[in-house]
Amino acid sequence: MVLLGMSSCGGQPGDDQPAVKSETNEPDQVMTNSEIYLTNNGWRAAIIKSNLLKAYTRVDTTLLYGVEVKFFDSAGVQTSTLTADSGKVSQRTNIMSVTGHVKANTRDNRRLVSDSLRWDAKNDKVVTEGHVEVYREDGWLSGEGLETDQRLNKVLIKRNLKGSFNEPEPIDERCLTLTEW
């Protein structure tokens, strides 16, 4: 149970009337140091931690501040982590949007840096229209707009693509296979 006390003094006659709350502007829940679990077909897709959470259940929106996310595959193995200044989650659609100093890291040392991202858990799709940088051990890519998966295996930069790669070792063409960036 939460009790809220208010007091005032020195006001005009009638100022002691309660303020009318707007149901659309006030969160239904406010929590600090919270965790949200997102699932996909019965398996844990992500654990979202935040310093401050404001839930607006009537509009299926949860606002997050100081965000840290751990992503998991269908076998329950953690695939990547993400941090951001703030975010928004729809639990009905399992879509999360984050903004501000967005950084993601995978288990195999791939990194992503952006100002904003949107993650669709149901379709395992990460997208942004803004500037993005993707790093891995042998090089980097940057540009505007991105589509990828949460492991950063399949990366599509939409516009203004730039990049740099280390020179690969000589390849035996008899063993050449197509690999994904």
Q: What is the pTM of this model?
A: 0.73
Give CA separation, 70 vs 25, 85, 104, in Å.
30, 15, 10
Q: Which residues contact 58 (CB under 8 A, 6 or more apart)?
A: 23, 24, 28
Identify the pLDDT of residue 164.
Answer: 86
User: Is the pLDDT reported for residue 11 higher than 50?
Assistant: no
pLDDT in tens, 95-120: 899 999 999 999 989 999 999 999 88
Specify the 3-state DSSP secondary structure of 78: strand
Cα–Cα–Cα angle for 119, 41, 179, nearest 5°?
A: 55
> How far apart are alpha carbons 94 and 46 in whole angstroms?
10
pLDDT in tens, 129-162: 999 999 988 889 899 999 998 888 888 999 998 9
Identify the pLDDT of residue 176.
Answer: 42
